Structure formats: C-alpha cells, structure tokens
Amino acid sequence: MIKHIVMWNLRGDTPQDKARSIEQVKNAFESLQGKIPGMTHLEIGVDSSRIDYACDVVLYSEFESQAALDAYGVHPEHVRVKQELEGVRIARHQVDFSTTL
C-alpha cells in the first residue's frame, strides 16, 4: 500500500475568501471518489488549529501500489482537478510512503 499525503496553503485575503478556497479544494478532490482505479481511500481534512505555520488543507489517500499512484498522477479526472484549482493553491507539500498493512 502507498500512502499519499498532500498539504496546501490556499489563497484568500479575507476569512470568507479563504473559506471559499477551502470549499473549492474539498469539493474538487471529493469528486474523485470512486473514479480512480487503485485508489482505496481518499480523505480531505481542513486545519482547525489556525496556528501560523499550519497548512490549510490536507489530502490523505491510499493506493494499492506505486503503479496505481503513478497512474493517478496522469488520470484525466485528477488532471481536471489540478487544472480547476490552478491559482487557488499558493504552497504545496507532499509525502508518499509505502506500508505493509
């Protein structure tokens, strides 16, 4: 199993703008559920700590294999989401790791 974790900071000059960006990211990634072969889990989390060094949103997903994660990277639905969110994300951090579970 491969775990794929991505965290973003999002655009938003006001709390309302930031909330709209968060909702857009949540909706975009949740629309992928059931559409990506080999993706066994997808979860979006929104930061509640509000500390200055925290990211705004995290994507936690699991894939059957590295090949499934690689295929996700170029899957048309994932490409659509990335294009839809152009300009919304201002920073991105990612970790992928393998587990034996």
29-58: pLDDT as tens digits:
999 999 999 999 999 999 999 899 999 999
The pair of structure tokens assigned to 52 is: 């200055």
Domain count, the chain: 1
* Cα–Cα–Cα angle for 24, 65, 28, rounded to 5 degrees: 10
pLDDT value, residue 50: 87
pLDDT value, residue 67: 98
Residue 75 is part of a domain; what is its CATH number? 3.30.70.100
Calculate the CA 15 to chain-centre distance.
Answer: 21
- Cα separation, 33 vs 41, in Å, equals 8
pLDDT value, residue 68: 98
The pair of structure tokens assigned to 23 is: 């909702």
- The answer to whether the pTM exceeds 0.85 is yes
Give the residue numbers spanning the domain of 66.
Answer: 2-98
52-100: pLDDT as tens digits:
999 999 999 999 999 999 999 999 999 999 999 999 999 999 999 999 7
Q: Is the pLDDT of residue 101 over 80?
A: no
